[in-house]
Each structure stands twice: as C-alpha cells, then as structure tokens.
Structure 1
C-alpha cells in the first residue's frame, strides 16, 4: 500500500544505530518496503574510504561468525555476493571437554551444505552494507548524530537528535533502537533490562597456529570456562589464523593481560591443548564482562528494541548476531503486514506481534547457549561423566547430532523459502 502524498512524518522508520544490525535492517526495509522512507542515526562518521573489493584486513581485524541461516538471509538481501569471496567457511565444528574423552563433531557435508557457517570480518560486512545502502535512495543517514530521547505523539513518535552539540527533532512512525546495550538510550527510554552476571570476561584476539585449521571451528570447554576458535582467512587457502574467544575470571584475565605475547601463548596452549597444534602468534587483545541480558518487554507504541539492545548472550556459542538477524527479519515481516493492512508501522499491535514471535526464538537460543555454559561449567565428577556420555551420544546418534547442528546453523522459520532447511 502506498503512503499518502503528504506524509505527516519526517521519516517512516528511524533506526537508532547504524552498525551491522541497524544497517542490515535499513537494507531489508528498503528492499521489502521500497516506498517507505528510512533514516539511520549513527554516532560515528560513515566509512567511505574503501569498498568491499578493495578491503584488506589487518591481522587484528575483528570478525563475526555467521550461521548458515544468516548466510541465507544475506543471500535474500542480495548482499552475500559481496561477502562470499572473503567469508571463511566453517566446514566442521568440534565440541570437546578439556581433559575428558567426550567429544562431538559436526560436518557440513552431513547436512548437504557447503558450510555450517562462515567467519567474516566486521569491517568487510560494514563496507558491503554501506555500498548497498548507497544505492537505496529511500535510506538517509544522520551521522555523526545520536538519538537522545523519544516522545510518543498522538500519531507516531518524536525523536530528539544531538548532532555535534546541536539539538534537532524528527518525527517517525516508529523508532527502532539498534545501538547496542551500552549506549544508554535503552535506559533513558525507561526499558527494564534483566541481567545475570556470569562473573567472567571474554577475551577476544586473533591467533595463529602452526597447523592449518582446515575450516574447523572448536568449542572447547575447560574447568576455567569455555573457549572457541573460529577459522579465519580466505576460502581455499591453507589458512592458519583463527579468532579466539577465551573466557577468563578476574584473576586469570589480569595474568593474561600482564604477560608478554610469549606468556599469553603459553597460557593459551596450556588451557586449550594441542588439538590445533602449536599456537605461534596472538594479536591485540580486547575484553569485556560476560552477562546474560534480556529485556522482558522490548516494545512500546512507536518504539522497539532489537539486537544487543534487546538481548545479549554468552559469545562462545556464536549465537548472538545470528539471533539478532532473525529478529530483524521478523520485524520487517510485521512491517510488511502492517503496510498491506494500512496499519501504522509503530502501532503497538504490530510491534507486539513481532515480540511474541521473536520471544520464542530468543528463549530457545538463550536456553541452548546458557545450558552449554551451565552444564560444562559444573565441576562435579558425576556431571563430568554425564557430559562425556552426552557428547559421545551426540556424536553417535544422527538425530541428536542433527538437532545440535540445526541450532548451530541458525535454521528457522525466517530462512524458509530462501534456502534448503533440511
């Protein structure tokens, strides 16, 4: 349905945050609802100094694990061709318990797919999204700028923007908060977040090993917390670089950060083991506290939280961004239905329908991710034996392994019709 010639709004959808989630939402809206105007408010200047074709990552470039279902979403948005040449396929996932015999192995070929997922540099994804959005005239940017407040109106909402100290207002049918959980906007708008502190930190770094990774991702559970190694590099190359997610308590984090690169490599080797051979290099380390955060009610009339603003998970299972992508597509679906019915995009019924549908997904994903941490974090000998039996069972029983693989691959209702969901 086309909008009236004279719209009472400055824009139809205002997205607070132009990172990977916000930019993906803008692209999806511009393709699914091309007659609607979208404004993206981003706190940082836009990256215009390179294109995906010219992108050359540094050793310390940060990356994201995209599940197979997320690849299908980007395929549907016609963005995957820009990423495929530099997306490292995850062809195998190896899950093990350090010091125990139990393990399970997932292989893409068992599911008739080229990969279980992919590892892509964040900056490459950002550049590809910027390039695609530059060709969508209905998408406008306000950057650098921040959304400081949102006020309900009889119809739609009014957003207060700060641009280099200058205040301005914009009206919209709906404001989508996609600027993460640490900007403060969620709290300023009065949304309540439930948080459980894991009492640990995630240390993120790129590492190299003497042995090529052969497209294998490792989830390694240890008595000090889980670890993950995600394969990096160009497809087809005998790459030896991986992205490390290392869970550490306060004391161990201080020890790792205080040491030299050689000290860090030795600690990493001792903790991870030798399944990937000798660790030969570790790059710049960053870290953040681990918390499970959910917002029980993430919608209000004219306002909705998405991505990390609505939920954050433990990173070791690599589910966070993939969950966010599925949520974005669910929101676009509800906007499409509202558009067809002539209902305002920010109507509470529209946003509540999105939340009800997405809630089932994030609850299942939280249970999947959190149960891994709880079960493998326990030090009981009885539970350790049960973990071994469980991992072996997953490896031996095709149905159980398929269920685990489908969770890891991020398959669900928003990939139906755009790829094989076997």
Structure 2
C-alpha cells in the first residue's frame, strides 16, 4: 500500500474515532444544570502546596482559601506543624512528605525505631482531627544522583508503613513520587520500560510494596518539560492537552492517543506490567505548566493546560490502557514561590499569587469538551504527511 493511501486510511480511522467521541461527549453533557451528567461527579484534581516563598499568608488563611475554592486534596512537601494543624476539622485530604534529607538523616530505612518516632512526631498528633490520606517518602529520589538515598527509600517506606499499622493508622497510604527520568522508553506507550539501572534496584521493590499495600505508584509528569526539551518533535497542542481527538497511534495495541499526558501515563503502565505489576494504581503526584520564565511559559498556556487537566479529571477519563480507571493528579502549584532555586520558570508554576488573586482563571468544576473542534487540524496534519 502506498504512503498516500496509508495516510488516507489513517485519516479515516482517526476522524471516525473523533466523530464518535464528539457524539458521545455531546450526548453525555447536554445540560449545564445537571453537573453529574457532564462530569460523572468525580472530584477535581488536588493541588500541591509548596511554601518556598517569603510572602505566603498564614496557614489558617490558606486553608480557608482552599475551602472557598472547593479543593479537596492537598499535597505538602514537609511536616510543618503549624501548616498541618491548620487543616484541623477541614474536609481536605492531606498527603504529607518525608524529605530526601530526612530519609537519610533519620536512619529510618535501617532503624525501625526512627520510623516509629517519625510517625509519633508527625502523624499521631493530628490523626484524629486532620485527614492525612498518604505519606510521600522522598521526592524523585532517582533524580538526584544519590545511590545511598535510592537504596534507603523502599526500606524506609516499609518501616513507616509498619509504624502506621502498629499505631492503628494502616489506612494511610505510603508511596514515593518518581520523576519521568525513571523511564527509558516512552513511545510507543506499549513499549514503555524503566531505566535498567533503576528497574531492579528500586522500582521493582517499590512496586512489590505498593502491590502488597494497595497503594498508588506516584509519578511527577510535566508535558511542559517534554515540549521545552524537544519542541521540534513534541506537538505543543498535545503537550497542552488540547488534542481531544486522537493524534497518534500505537500500532502494537491499536490505541489512539489524544495528548502527551496519556502517552506518558500508559508508558508507565506498560513499564509496570513488564516488571510483573500490571495492576498497581497510578497517581500523578505533580503536574503543571509555568506562567512565566520561558517563551512557552505564559498565563495563556498555563491556563489551557491546567483547565484541560481539570476537565479530564472531573469527567473521570481514563487512558487507553486503563479506560475504566479515572486519572487523578495534583496540580503544581498553589502559589508562585519566589524563593525556589533554579530557573525562573520554577518560581512561576502557581495558580494564585500570594494575596490569593488568580494568576489566571480556572473553572474547578470543569468545562465541556468537544472533539469536533479539532477535526480540521487533524485533517490538515494527516494531509501534510502524505
């Protein structure tokens, strides 16, 4: 078959799928009044609350603001007592964190007593009044070039979990957020594979623990970074989650992909399957788009990405490999953080300024999505490739 005819056939498949999705979406979301008909009543994404800023208001004011915004889940990067106490008697679920430095400094990986002390100091005082849902042990431990830290992470997770069990807090989940650099292969998604140097040393032991405890595999995914690092090969609309119609095909599985986030999630799913753990749940522990600091970091792009993410989450959408498992995520971050080290864009991921004014507007209840709007663009792209 000639290249031209292959492109024509592919175009027909994609456009048929697009039209079907548009019809389904429009049928399900015909009334703004019936929110459950349009978003299946799924809660929106959580938000990461980083505090590397000199101008953030008091924790009590922040919690009040979060409640006004109807945000139901928050990730903290620490165990600051004043911040955690501010969530007393709120309905907000908290994920608290053990820093990379504290994993090593406490000795909790090799000393159960140290893990037990951490739980007694940082969880037990709040367990009756604060809804602590999960503990993130470290953050992107494979990304800091510290093999000692890597080797201590999974044992620390097990000791923290055991300490929680003994304190009758076994419902609190324990995991560790990885960065995308843990993956060696991401395309096609069905070929997803973890980097060899980490697959057996940390990923498989962590997956075994998560499988035993029914806890999620946490991964920080930034399509913005993928686009920034490779703008020639990464489609901007795909990175922004704008491609509600299929834009690429994994010919091994026949699945079509609507956006870069789904591609990366399914690559992670496939990689977990290759390690023998195909059913461990996934949680996007960080994702977002900066509003300044780079040519592609604009308020318009940031609003587009985060609104599209909210839409996906509240509609309960799953990926092609896991269509029945709605994605869930934490958006990074609540505020711009003027004290974060590194490139300027890192200080500009916030959805809000420190005075609670929005950097850009987000509809946390989600907005209707119409696949038909992208039909012409897909058509033209396929035509140009023939």
TM-score normalised according to structure 1 size: 0.27
TM-score normalised according to structure 2 size: 0.28
Higher helix proportion: 2
Higher strand proportion: 1
